[in-house]
Structure 1
């Protein structure tokens, strides 16, 4: 479930709850305090991905605290 997962404060990538570092950028700054969820499937064709500065497919938090 998405609520149990951790969002990276650096890139907003959603990680599994047992991770110590972000699977996308390697940052150790992960948090449970996030809101909104977007799945990017084609970052090269997505205006949302461009706005979020996302270049990889995956799940991302819209707001990370």
Structure 2
């Protein structure tokens, strides 16, 4: 069984459920209510990263509620 993942409401970064804050932006506003999943490996070459305003490689939620 997969462990629960949370998404940061500020930067959409995906984190494990045992974290209290986002390691990317430091926000403690995390939620289970997210949809879509994208892994960005080279944000400087990614149109999706540009639209999402992502500058760091990582796992991101496409939609966070």
TM range (shorter): over 0.9
Q: What residue number does 1:44 align with?
A: 44
Structure 2: gaps spanning 5 or more residues:
none
The CA distance in 1 between the partners of 2:59 and 2:45, in whole Å, is 16
The CA distance in 1 between the partners of 2:5 and 2:59, in whole Å, is 11
Aligned-residue RMSD, C-alpha: 1.0
Structure 1: gaps spanning 5 or more residues:
none
**Structure holding more helix per residue:** 1
Structure 2 length-normalised TM: 0.95
Structure 1 segments, 4+ long, off by >2 Å, are none
| Count of aligned pairs between the two proteins | 64
Structure 1 length-normalised TM: 0.95
Q: What residue number does 2:15 align with?
A: 15
